[in-house]
């Protein structure tokens, strides 16, 4: 039987700490890997801004001059030129300052981007960045030569998920010691790694909930889950630009218009070029609602949300993801009850929230301009529902720290596995090699898949020696000799 929450997570955490001789989070290296990707600098910066605004770094910090910094109000995403976040409130050494916040990857971007000579940046009260030169000190000064407090972000606390780049899969050196372990032992290892991962996700959500607002943190996390890997950040930004509290004040049709408009998908000029009658009708309805609200929401081109249109299935086109977020908003009260109230069957409740949705344009269309498909399509299928439950709702419940922690964990272990993806296949190949039956046995459940990904992340992605120096194979005997 799986140890209860949080005993299994603690066992895996202690194992990791013993193996690596440290107990610090692996998040920094993961973040570095993420930033090593071949992404544009602008997208990386947007990623960082979304993490900041989502509250992933928390809200209490120490500035580069030792000041005590507390974010009282994160402010608003700027839609136009100027600093990234406006109408913010920051308490610095007890003094409340109102103004804007600028987020850069590197402290020097303040000057290289010309902010120091731009009067639009004169009301900046805090300059946040993740890098600075090791030797020289760079100050942040406004056009009026006012010194602006600086904040070098601490270690990333977020769970961005495994990096997008994964090395080629090849059988690993740990196959032999894992093959010596019986199924129960391997199952327990995966259980403990999965519980650890669940706890990390719950911690990320707790930080976000405390830093922003519990409903908004959950809304953003669900949006991320809907975005898959390719559009996770874009969906997070959309959720931040269209907070759930504001969407709930609108009618369902207005919500959809606001989301599509803020996403940058409503182009009036494009309306005329569409031939499909139902696409034209639907788009016109969206546009009619959007144009009355767009002055308050529309982004200037340089701040457009960075959607990724390549490499995903047609069913997961970004426009369908936005429609899915509108569906989530329409079901918000029902969904919300699942984590704020005691329910008996989490999975059934999540499925009930999404089953039998009203007929919509998106039942038969891949995009805003595509011809209708004959076969109906679900906006939020079974796998997404499971991911929303496993990646957001159950971690959210664990993060609340009430007496439902263990029942959330038990429900987590009962979720059937999601469809195999490239990451899981690679992880399975590395740890279990050609043993198909074992791979299948240990990836049948969602939590096993998550445990496998955690081990892959903690060891395979830390390794740069083609397994030779990886401590995992030798340490497995330690694992076996120290049961809970």
Binding site for ligand SF4 (CB under 6 A): 172-174, 430, 459-460, 463, 467, 470, 472-473
Nearer to ligand SF4, 24 or 469 (CB): 469
CB of 479 to ligand SF4, least distance (A): 12
Q: Which letter does DSSP use for residue 118 in this model?
A: -
Contact 92, 64 (CB under 8 A): no
Which residue(s) pair with 333 in the sheet? none
In angstroms, give the least distance from the CB of 467 to ligand SF4: 3
Strands 124-131 and 95-106: parallel
174 vs 350, which CB is nearer to ligand SF4?
174
Cβ closest to ligand SF4, residue 80 vs residue 167: 167
Nearer to ligand SF4, 211 or 461 (CB): 461
Please state the closest distance from residue 155 (CB atom) to ligand SF4, in A.
23
Residue nearest to ligand SF4 as judged by C-beta position: 172
* Residue closer to ligand SF4, measured from CB, 83 or 172: 172
Name which of 48 and 193 has its Cβ closer to ligand SF4. 193
d(C-alpha 420, C-alpha 412), whole Å: 18
How far apart are CB 476 and ligand SF4 at their closest, in Å?
9
Nearest-approach distance from CB 455 to ligand SF4, in angstroms: 7
Sign of CA pseudo-dihedral 265, 39, 203, 227: positive
Shortest Cβ distance from residue 423 to ligand SF4 (Å)?
Answer: 13
> What is the 3-state secondary structure of 235-270?
HHHHHHHCCHHHHCCCCHHHHHHHHHHHHCCCCHHH
Q: What six digits make up the tokens of 196?
A: 């650890």
| Residues near 68 by beta carbon (within 8 Å), at least 6 away in sequence | 60, 62, 91, 92, 93, 94
- Compute how many other C-beta atoms are within 10 angstroms of the C-beta atom of residue 149: 19
Reduced to 3 DSSP states, what percent helix, strand and coil does the chain have, rounded to the nearest 5?
55, 10, 35
Name which of 415 and 460 has its Cβ closer to ligand SF4. 460
Q: What span, in angstroms and rounded, lies between the C-alpha atoms of 82 and 469?
A: 49
Tell me how many degrees the CA angle 208-290-298 measures, rounded to the nearest 5: 55
As measured in angstroms, the least distance from the Cβ of 420 to ligand SF4 is 18
Nearest distance in Å: CB 163, ligand SF4 = 15
By C-beta, is 173 or 364 nearer to ligand SF4?
173
Unique residue bearing structure tokens 């990234």: 84
């Amino acid at each position: 039987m799986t140890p209860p929450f949080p005993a299994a997570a603690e066992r895996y955490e202690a194992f990791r700490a013993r193996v690596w001789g440290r107990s610090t989070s692996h998040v920094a290296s993961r973040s570095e890997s993420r930033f090593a990707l071949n992404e544009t600098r602008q997208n990386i910066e947007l990623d960082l801004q979304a993490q900041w605004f989502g509250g992933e770094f928390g809200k209490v910090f120490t500035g580069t001059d030792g000041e005590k910094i507390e974010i009282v109000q994160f402010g608003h995403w700027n839609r136009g030129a100027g600093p990234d976040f406006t109408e913010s409130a920051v308490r610095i050494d007890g003094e409340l300052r109102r103004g804007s916040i600028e987020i850069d990857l590197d402290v020097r971007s303040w000057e290289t981007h010309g902010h120091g000579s731009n009067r639009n940046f004169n009301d900046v009260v805090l300059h946040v960045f993740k890098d600075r030169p090791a030797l020289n000190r760079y100050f942040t000064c406004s056009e009026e030569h006012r010194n602006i407090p600086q904040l070098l972000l601490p270690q990333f606390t977020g769970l961005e998920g495994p990096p997008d780049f994964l090395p080629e899969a090849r059988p690993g050196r740990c196959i032999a010691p894992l093959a010596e372990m019986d199924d129960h032992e391997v199952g327990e290892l995966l259980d403990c790694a999965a519980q650890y991962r669940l706890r990390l996700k719950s911690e990320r959500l707790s930080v976000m909930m405390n830093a922003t607002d519990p409903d908004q943190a959950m809304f953003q996390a669900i949006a991320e889950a809907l975005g898959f890997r390719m559009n996770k950040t874009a969906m997070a930004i959309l959720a931040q630009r269209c907070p759930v509290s504001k969407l709930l004040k609108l009618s369902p049709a207005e919500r959809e218009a606001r989301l599509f408009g803020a996403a940058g998908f409503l182009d009036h000029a494009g309306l005329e070029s569409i031939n499909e009658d139902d696409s034209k009708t639907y788009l016109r309805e969206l546009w009619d609602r959007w144009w009355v609200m767009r002055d308050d929401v529309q982004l200037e081109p340089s701040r457009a949300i960075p959607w990724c249109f390549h490499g995903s299935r047609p069913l997961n086109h970004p426009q369908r993801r936005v429609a899915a977020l509108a569906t989530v908003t329409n079901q918000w009260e029902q969904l919300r009850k699942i984590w704020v109230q005691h329910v008996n069957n989490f999975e059934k409740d999540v499925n009930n929230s999404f089953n039998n949705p009203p007929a919509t344009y998106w039942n038969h269309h891949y995009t805003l301009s595509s011809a209708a498909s004959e076969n109906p399509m679900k906006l939020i299928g079974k796998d997404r529902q499971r991911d929303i439950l496993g990646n957001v709702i159950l971690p959210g419940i664990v993060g609340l720290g009430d007496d439902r922690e263990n029942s959330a964990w038990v429900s987590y272990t009962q979720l059937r596995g999601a469809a195999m993806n490239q990451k899981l296949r690679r992880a399975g190949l590395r740890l279990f090699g050609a043993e198909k039956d074992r791979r299948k046995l240990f990836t049948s459940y969602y939590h096993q898949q998550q445990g496998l990904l955690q081990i892959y992340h903690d060891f395979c992605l830390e390794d740069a020696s083609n397994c030779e120096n990886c401590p995992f194979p030798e340490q497995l005997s330690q694992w076996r000799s120290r049961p809970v």
